[in-house]
Amino acid sequence: MSEHIASPKLYIGIFLALMICTAATVWAAYINLGQYNIVIALAIATLKATLVVLFFMHAKYSPGRTQLVIFCAVFWLGIMLALTLSDYTTRHELTQQQAQPAALVARRVAP
Amino acid sequence: MHRTGELYGQFETLEQQKDTATLGMWVFLVTEVLFFGGMFMTYTINRHAYSAAFGVGGNTLDLKLGGGNTVVLIMSSLTMAMAVWSAQVGKKQLITLFLILTLLLGGVFLGVKAIEYKQKYDHHLIPGQSFDITFCSNHPAPCGISAEDAAKEKTEIAEAFEKDPNLNSHAQLYFSLYFGMTGLHALHMIIGAGLLLWLIKEAVAKRFGPGYNTPVDITGLYWHFVDIVWIYLFPLLYLIDRHN
């Protein structure tokens, strides 16, 4: 197994793709898509990061154990983000009725 | 003693030795992913909780400088990848050239970052006693913006104050995270620049080639990782609320 050498043409192609993605993310930011703006921005950033990892960082041509280490990083980051957000994004202020048990009691007494 | 790629006793082949070094660098980068991940997590939670203040804060950033810096940093990743390629195919002079280009582009990035920090200082946007999110909308002249833009900014800030009466405090939270995250990123760039200086010295001495290029390769991994951090910082800090 000898070292894989990627061609400069490939690197320049990846660079151009990254430039196009950068322009696209700035362009998309000015369109009002409500809460989907953040989704699109992060999707484009993830696409760019994937290109950098696969080609500039040679992950595509790395041994399986190196790829496993990269996968672990992403997986554990995912656990941290998903579990923390599942808590923070589902917290809501109590409404007055929920906050005052007496109101609940009163409602139950007089249906 | 200079290390020029001799085989150490614990390895069977040079290739195994190089794979091990690369794997070690990746393991370090995993810890970096989780380290920066914690900061991104903090940012996301606070942005979710104080979206009005974070929107106003993000829109005060200079998109031309931030976008330009994104281009500069991705370009430096390209020159770094080319330096690794030059080493792999044994073009010894090109290695030095591409490493110097990478260092220069990194320097441009840090210079622009310094200009941005100075701007934030002039605009009273450093968290602390003199922090005032309304400063530029009230004093357009020292901020170098037109009266028209100032009026627009004033309405935007007034609307945000209606959504969040503690806008000034929560905007400070945004700027604390802005300086914390970009500062940590810049620190990584400075460390990267130090590594590049050392690589340039070694490359001038013609120590790298097809047989031995591990230092160029794994410094490249580090440099690209720092690039990826910026790829996420740019949209999260600069672009989040531009559509308003």
Q: What is the pLDDT of residues B84-131, one digit of tens each?
A: 999 999 999 999 999 999 999 999 999 999 999 999 999 999 999 999
Tell if the CB–CB gap between A56 and B48 is shorter than 8 Å: no
Whether residue A5 is found in the same domain as residue A33:
yes
**Can you give the C-alpha Rg of chain A in angstroms?**
24
Closest chain A residue to B81, measured at CA:
A56
Is B89 at the interface with chain A, CB within 8 A? yes
pLDDT band at B2 (very low <50, low <70, confident <90, very high): low
Domains observed in chain B:
26-239 (1.20.120.80)
Whether residue A103 is found in the same domain as residue A81:
yes
Is B24 at the interface with chain A, CB within 8 A? no
What is the reported pLDDT for A35?
A: 83
Whether residue A57 is found in the same domain as residue A70:
no
pLDDT above 70 as % of chain B: 98
Is A73 at the interface with chain B, CB within 8 A? yes
| Residue A92 belongs to domain spanning | 64-111
- Final residue belonging to a domain, choices A62, A77, A98: A62
Name the packing angle between helices B92-122 and B214-234 (round to 10°).
30
Quick: pLDDT tens for A47-92.
Answer: 999 999 999 999 999 999 999 999 999 999 999 999 999 998 888 7
What is the reported pLDDT for B144?
A: 86
Q: Provide the ipTM.
A: 0.92
Closest chain A residue to B21, measured at CA:
A66
Give residue for tokens 């070094």: B21
Tell if the CB–CB gap between B74 and A72 is shorter than 8 Å: no
Whether residue A55 is found in the same domain as residue A74:
no
Whether residue A13 is found in the same domain as residue A51:
yes
Tell me the torsion sign for CA atoms B15, B84, B111, B116.
Answer: negative
Quick: pLDDT tens for B29-84.
Answer: 999 999 999 999 999 999 999 999 999 999 999 999 999 999 999 999 999 999 99
The count of domains in chain A is: 2
Whether residue A55 is found in the same domain as residue A69:
no
Whether residue A76 is found in the same domain as residue A55:
no
Query: Residue B91, by phi and psi: left (phi above 0), alpha (psi -120 to 50) or beta?
Result: beta
Tell if the CB–CB gap between A41 and B235 is shorter than 8 Å: yes
For residue A7, which of A61, A83, A78 has the smallest C-alpha distance? A61
Query: Environment class of residue B187 by beta-carbon count within 10 Å: exposed (0-12), middle (13-18) or buried (19+)?
Result: exposed
Distance from CA of B130 to the nearest CA of A (A): 31
pLDDT band at A97 (very low <50, low <70, confident <90, very high): low
Whether residue A98 is found in the same domain as residue A51:
no
> Three-state SS for B193?
helix
